[in-house]
Amino acid sequence: MLGGVPLHRDEIPPGTLYLLILRTLARGGEMHGYEIADSIQRISEDVLQVEEGSLYPALQRMLIKGWVKAKWGVTAGDRRARYYQLTTLGRKQLAVEVSQFERVMRAIARVVQTA
């Protein structure tokens, strides 16, 4: 990072970005990209920082995979924006990712606690 970022934030662990997006969309219904990034940041109480740009390749991949669908709408500020919404396939994927994440976390926790 070149610029002096005022707050120190942790980068999200690799591979969990999809999980975060899926979970956010599951909770929030229809959201556009900025709202998703914002939401992740807020709910993590500013600990997790999505490198904002990386959100978009991830969203494109999820569109291709059919986990989310998108349609164009208008924001509160009267701007055109693309709203993303979870599909049935996306919900299934979320379940998969959550269980995977919990498995990994439990494993890590075990390793850390045994020490």
Q: Give the binding site for another protein (CB under 8 A).
A: 2-3, 32-34, 37, 51-54, 56-57, 59-61, 63-66, 72, 75, 79-82, 89
Distance CA 23, CA 40 (A): 9
Cβ–Cβ < 8 Å for 94, 19: yes
Only one residue has tokens 């999809």, namely 18
Cβ distance to another protein smaller for residue 43 or 81: 81
**Beta carbon of residue 110, minimum distance to another protein (angstroms, whole number):** 34
**Beta carbon of residue 52, minimum distance to another protein (angstroms, whole number):** 5
Distance CA 36, CA 25 (A): 7
Question: Can you read off the two tokens belonging to residue 70?
Answer: 């998108």
Cβ distance to another protein smaller for residue 4 or 115: 4
**Beta carbon of residue 19, minimum distance to another protein (angstroms, whole number):** 17
